[in-house]
């Protein structure tokens, strides 16, 4: 399997405040990485750094051999990054369909394919972003990232605050996107067992540094290790 993402000695944060310290790992083409850790350990900062939304103090980020850390934030979508932040950041004054077509790039993921994956969005394609439920907004945020036709999908707590039935629907969609369609992804989530079940690798952060790496299957099978690292054995 060829390497897609390489991070070496990465330090980053906000302004002069350094949150991440000497972070390093690799991710292969088509692989999914579960990024875990307690609240405030640097998970969102790492996702934001890949998207170009923090200040990078040192280190290298390479995506498909391209020096991502040298690319301006507004050019990273073209470089292959699809980002779904915690805030979702959909265009609430636009319709569902306008949200998708406004950012669409050539490739296999089109608005029609998004509608096939999320029939709820197809039913609401003429609704404004403000008229969608939280779960529908999250589906739209994922769809907007997909129509960019990225090489790497970044999902920051995609299941947060959603009803159980929506969580299951999104998990099925993420599994299809990553396992069936082969799109590489990094997923931050507070439900470790749910995400480990659909991931290949796992990285655990604490105080901005990597404290544990393992295969997702191995970590999922060790609840005592999860409990020690995250304080959640279930």
pLDDT in tens, 94-151: 999 999 999 999 999 999 999 999 999 999 999 999 999 999 999 999 999 999 999 9
| 231: confidence class by pLDDT, cuts 50, 70, 90 | confident
Instruction: Tell which residue, 65, 149, 155, 152, has the closest CA to residue 139.
Output: 155
User: Given a cut of 90, is residue 191 above it in pLDDT?
Assistant: no
CA distance 139 to 52: 23
pLDDT at residue number 233: 45
Q: Provide the β-strand partners of residue 204.
A: 36, 212
- Per the confidence metrics, is the pTM higher than 0.75? yes
Which pair of tokens denotes residue 174?
């993420």
pLDDT at residue number 111: 98
Decide: 140 and 69 in contact? Cβ < 8 Å. Answer: no
Strand residue runs (E) in the chain = 3-14, 17-28, 32-36, 55-63, 66-67, 81-84, 152-156, 184-188, 201-206, 209-215
């Amino acid at each position: 399997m060829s390497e897609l993402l390489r991070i070496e000695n990465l330090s980053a944060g906000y302004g002069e405040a350094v949150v991440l310290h000497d972070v390093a790992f690799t991710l292969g083409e088509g692989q999914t990485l579960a990024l875990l850790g307690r609240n405030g350990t640097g998970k969102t900062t790492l996702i934001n750094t890949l998207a170009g939304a923090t200040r990078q103090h040192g280190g290298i980020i390479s995506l498909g051999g391209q020096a991502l850390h040298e690319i301006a934030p507004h050019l990273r979508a073209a470089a292959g990054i699809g980002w779904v932040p915690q805030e979702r950041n959909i265009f609430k004054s636009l319709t569902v369909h306008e949200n998708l077509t406004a950012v669409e790039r050539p490739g296999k993921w089109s608005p029609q394919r998004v509608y096939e994956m999320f029939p709820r969005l197809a039913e609401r394609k003429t609704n404004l972003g403000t008229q969608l439920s939280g779960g529908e907004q999250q589906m739209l945020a994922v769809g907007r990232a997909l129509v960019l036709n990225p090489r790497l999908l970044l999902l920051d707590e995609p299941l947060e605050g959603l009803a159980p039935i929506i969580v299951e629907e999104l998990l099925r969609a993420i599994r299809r996107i990553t396992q069936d369609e082969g799109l590489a992804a990094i997923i931050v989530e507070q439900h470790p067992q749910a995400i480990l079940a659909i991931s290949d690798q796992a990285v655990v952060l604490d105080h901005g540094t990597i404290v544990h790496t393992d295969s997702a299957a191995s970590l999922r099978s060790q609840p005592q290790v999860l409990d020690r690292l995250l304080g959640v054995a279930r």
